[in-house]
């Protein structure tokens, strides 16, 4: 095994890491924090933001791209490096709106954290800022491209994880912008993965706008109710209302959600939502208790099976149930009722 490892020194501490490990990954394993803006552990390397620079042999090198080599000496936070990092953050802030007070991501923004860390109230490098007045008309994703720092995470998640490629870079130079083709309104799957990876407030969930920022919410860990995949969801809840759906990276679904999990939670507080069984009495659906409803179903199933045999009965279940529930349902139909007439909207 030994020859597959390389030994490097980071900030005076020796460590052995597998061949091919980046300096950033090695430092993270040692608990050494290196700031990043474009790097994302689930996406391929971009190397765009340059804030993860470290000093190797006196030269500034981006730690997200530099691969550990035997005997490498790395300094992650010399005054020289911190000065360069400060100036890079300064440059980003010089082209960023100063509206943290109304930003959805305040308190949960990776850029804001770096501005705080380097105490940049007014950028040294001042100048023109990109102004975009066009707002995207889609119902789910608010795209405020003035806040975009062009880290490219959204482009990569859309391409590499989702396989959609709905957005990409357009234009050149200072005018470079991430947008759908021909700057049309976003017309994609609306999985919202781009929101999940955006380090700033450039991409936020439209249904959640103005309903509560990260520090003002309670979080509830749950499982997505939409299908058998069982994705883990973290709901942000304010005053007993779910305002936002997120997912953590350390979950079975690695933090990724689809449009339903990401945006489909408004039914929870909908007045149209059924909360009790309904039984049709005299042509009208009337609310009933669970015992009454289950008794009625059992009685009717028995009668039909006695009169016309079990194959007169068919069962249709829902993909919104869990796998376990669907397993039990087919068991009920096959073993209990005695028919193979069982299906569900996503097929057994």
Partner 1 sequence: MANDSIEIKVCLGTSGSAAGGEEVLRLFKHHVQEQGVEARVGRRCSPSKVGCRGFCSKDVLVDVILDGSKTTYQLVTPNMVERIVLEHVIDGKPIAEWTVKEEYASFHAKQHKIVLGPCGEIDPESIDDYIAMRGYRAARKAITQMKPEEVIGQVITSGLRGRGGSGFGTGEKWRVCRGAPGDVKYAVCNIGEVNRPLAEGNPHAIIEGLLVGGYAIGAAKGFLYIRERYHRSVERLSIALEQARERGFVGRNIFGTGFDFEMEFSFGTEAFICGEETALMESIEGKRAMPRVRPPFPAYAGLWGRPTVINNAETFSNIPLIIGMGGEWFSKIGTATSKGTKVFTLSGKVRNNGLVEIPMGMPFREIVYGIGGGIEGDKTLKGIQVGGPSGGIIPTSMLDMGLDYEHLARVGSIVGSGGMVVFDEDDCIVNVAKFYLEFLQRESCGKCVPCRIGTKRMSELLTKITEGKGEENDLRTMERLAGVMATTSLCGLGRTAPNPFLTSFNHFRDEYLAHIREKKCPAGVCTALITFSVLAEKCKACGLCKRACPAGAITGAPKQPHVIDPEKCVKCGACYRACKFKAIKKA
Q: Which residues bind partner 1 (CB under 8 A)?
A: 45-51, 53, 59-60, 62, 65, 67, 84, 87-88, 91-92, 94-95, 124-128, 149-150, 152, 168-169, 171-176
Which of residues 141 and 148 has its CB atom nearest to partner 1 in the complex? Answer: 148
Give alpha helix (H) positions in 184-287. Answer: 193-197, 259-263
Q: What 8-state DSSP symbol labels residue 125?
A: S
List the Cα angle 341/347/160 in 5-degree steps. 175
Helix (H) or strand (E) holding 245: strand 241-246
- Smallest gap from Cβ 124 to partner 1, in A, equals 6
In 213-294, beta strands by DSSP E: 218-223, 232-238, 241-246, 278-281, 284-287
CA 287 to chain centre: 38
- Smallest gap from Cβ 48 to partner 1, in A, equals 5
| Phi, psi values for residue 332, rounded to 5° | -60, -45
- Smallest gap from Cβ 100 to partner 1, in A, equals 19
What CA–CA distance (Å, rounded) separates 303 from 20?
68
What CA–CA distance (Å, rounded) separates 69 from 21?
9
Q: Which residue has the tokens 């507080």?
A: 269
What CA–CA distance (Å, rounded) separates 173 from 193?
26
- Smallest gap from Cβ 131 to partner 1, in A, equals 14
Which of residues 150 and 233 has its CB atom nearest to partner 1 in the complex? Answer: 150
- Smallest gap from Cβ 250 to partner 1, in A, equals 27
- Smallest gap from Cβ 114 to partner 1, in A, equals 12
Terminal Cα distance for the chain, rounded: 46
Which of residues 48 and 229 has its CB atom nearest to partner 1 in the complex? Answer: 48
* Lookup: tokens for 12: 């005076």
Which of residues 122 and 240 has its CB atom nearest to partner 1 in the complex? Answer: 122
Q: What 8-state DSSP symbol labels residue 280?
A: E
Q: With left for phi above 0 and alpha for psi between -120 and 50, is residue 159 left, alpha or beta?
A: alpha
Which of residues 157 and 227 has its CB atom nearest to partner 1 in the complex? Answer: 157
Which of residues 175 and 291 has its CB atom nearest to partner 1 in the complex? Answer: 175
- Smallest gap from Cβ 19 to partner 1, in A, equals 13
Which of residues 151 and 333 has its CB atom nearest to partner 1 in the complex? Answer: 151
């Amino acid at each position: 095994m030994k020859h597959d490892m390389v030994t490097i020194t980071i900030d005076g501490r020796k460590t052995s890491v597998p061949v091919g490990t980046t300096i950033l990954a090695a430092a993270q394993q040692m608990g050494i924090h290196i700031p990043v803006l474009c790097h994302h552990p689930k996406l391929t390397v971009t190397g765009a933001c340059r804030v993860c620079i470290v000093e190797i042999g006196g030269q500034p090198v981006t730690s997200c791209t530099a691969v550990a080599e035997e005997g490498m000496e790395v300094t992650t936070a010399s005054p020289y490096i911190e000065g360069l990092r400060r100036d890079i953050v300064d440059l980003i802030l010089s082209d960023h709106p100063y509206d943290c007070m109304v930003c959805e991501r305040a308190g949960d923004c990776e850029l804001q954290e770096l501005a705080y860390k380097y105490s940049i109230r007014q950028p040294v490098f001042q100048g023109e800022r990109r102004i975009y007045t066009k707002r995207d008309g889609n119902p789910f994703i608010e795209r405020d491209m003035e806040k975009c720092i062009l880290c490219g995470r959204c482009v990569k998640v859309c391409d590499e994880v989702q396989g959609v490629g709905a957005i990409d870079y357009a234009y050149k130079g200072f005018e470079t912008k991430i947008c759908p083709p021909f700057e049309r309104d976003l017309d994609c799957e609306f999985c919202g993965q781009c929101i999940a990876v955006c380090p700033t407030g450039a991409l936020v969930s439209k249904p959640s706008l103005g309903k509560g920022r990260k520090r003002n919410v309670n979080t509830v860990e749950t499982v997505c109710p939409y299908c058998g995949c069982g994705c883990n969801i973290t709901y942000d809840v304010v005053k007993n209302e779910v305002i936002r759906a997120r997912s953590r990276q350390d979950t079975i679904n690695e933090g990724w959600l689809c449009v339903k999990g990401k945006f489909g939670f408004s039914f929870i507080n909908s007045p149209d939502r059924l909360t009790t069984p309904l039984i049709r009495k005299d042509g009208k659906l009337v609310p009933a208790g669970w015992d009454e409803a289950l008794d009625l179903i059992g009685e009717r199933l028995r009668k039909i099976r006695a009169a016309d045999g079990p194959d007169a009965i068919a069962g249709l279940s829902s993909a919104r149930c869990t796998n376990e529930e669907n397993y039990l349902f087919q068991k009920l139909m096959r073993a209990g009722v005695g028919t193979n007439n069982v299906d569900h909207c996503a097929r057994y």
